[in-house]
Amino acid sequence: MLSFFLKYKFFGMVLLALSIVIIYLFYTALQPKKMLPIYQPSMVSQELVDSTLHYKKKYHTISDFELINQNGKKITQQDYMDKIYVADFFFTTCPTICPIMTKNMAEIQHEVINDKDVMLLSHSVTPTIDSVAQLKKYALEKGVVDYKWNLVTGDKKQIYELARKSYLAVKTDGNGGPYDMIHTENFILVDKEKRIRGFYDGTDSKEIEKLLQDLQILKASYGE
């Protein structure tokens, strides 16, 4: 008799465990997948957006570009094709927020160093000062890994238009002197379709953690 009850006790425990697994699977399946927003100019503070885009509500993407990196190599959208990337704006002689931003971007680089689908892109807002040689010196000082992270300089007008009309990341048009563009501390997360999927304070460690979490959500949306 005892062996009979022990036999069914074991069966009951197996059935309970199986029920828990089934309930968990159902619960997981019913949870909505986390998705990141697709940012449009109309969703961003107007001071960061060119006036021609204030009311654009869809189909916003990063424009094509042609700039020069720390190694004197031409960098275009082709180098970022089918890549997720994090972009920002800085300058090498900035004494305030840029060192913190660069340190945090280096932390992101460390986290994604072996991820072939993720890259980084930092635009100089003082391209007339930040020559290739200056960028290379800065890159060596800050631990930039060339295949993962491009620091770019080039035509000032193009960089400022990218900042205002593509990345929605600066507060002025850059029509004055070499230090005339007031850039933000924003890191911008861009997907494989060249769409903006997030803005993060590049000086805030908690925001960097959020960026890395969102990066995983974005990767999961591609089945990666």
Residue ranges of the annotated binding site for Cu cation are: 94, 98, 183
Name the CA dihedral angle for 213, 217, 222, 223, rounded to a multiple of 10 degrees. 100
Query: By three-state DSSP, how is residue 187 classified?
Result: strand
Instruction: Locate all alpha helices (DSSP H) within the chain, ordered by sequence.
Output: 2-30, 97-112, 132-142, 156-161, 205-221
Query: What's the helix, strand, coil split of the chain in %, to 5?
Result: 45, 15, 40
Which residues are within 8 A (CB) of 185 and not within 5 positions of it... i.e. 6 or more apart? 97, 101, 201, 202, 203
Distance of CA 177 to the CA centre of its chain: 29
- Output the known binding site: 94, 98, 183
> Pick from 190, 80, 199, 174: which is nearest to 124 by CA?
174
CA distance 170 to 161: 10
